[in-house]
Amino acid sequence: MFFKRCCFCLPLNVGCMIIGGIFIAFHFGELITHTNDTIFIREVSHKSWSPIVMSPVLVFGTISSILLVYAASKQKRGFVLLWLILYIIILFVYFILAVIQLVTNKPPPIILTVQMVIIVGLVYSLMVVHAYYKYLNAVGYEDSI
């Protein structure tokens, strides 16, 4: 197992709770302020496809992050796996949206920096949560509700 701790100092379950909390705040903030721009869709929110893409990402991201916090506190493998699957899809969507925006709009450097920080943070979060999932499998926690 590559990760035994989150950020080299926190246990994996605490790291997963922190990761879940950060993504709850991020997605909930994006849902609330989803007026005409989000970080990954800028200056195109008047297009008809914008809410179709971002609304499910933000809603499912918020719900699965809440479930990740619950799963990390109660050692529930199924919810951790659900978070992993959904966030791999979200990472793919964010990457595609960042590339599309880079090619079509030439965004300012600060937006590119924020997008790359989010994508790199998401990759690191996926690695930590995957390590926690493997730990739960190795220890043999059952998914009793």
CA 97 to chain centre: 15
CA 116 to chain centre: 13
Q: Give the predicted TM-score (pTM) of the model.
A: 0.84
What's the pLDDT at 67?
Answer: 93
What's the pLDDT at 30?
Answer: 81
CB 110, CB 55: distance < 8 Å:
no
Q: Report in angstroms the alpha-carbon separations of 94 from 100, 109, 139.
A: 10, 17, 33
Give the domain ranges of the chain: 12-139
What's the pLDDT at 5?
Answer: 61
What's the pLDDT at 42?
Answer: 57
Place of tokens 């971002």: 54
Residue 133, H or E segment? helix 109-139
What's the pLDDT at 121?
Answer: 93
For the chain, 145 residues long, the average pLDDT of each consecutive 10-residue run is 64 89 89 67 60 81 93 91 94 89 82 90 92 87 56
Q: What is the DSSP letter of 6?
A: B
Q: Report in angstroms the alpha-carbon separations of 6 from 19, 56, 104, 105.
A: 10, 28, 37, 36
Written as six digits, the tokens of 132 are: 């926690």
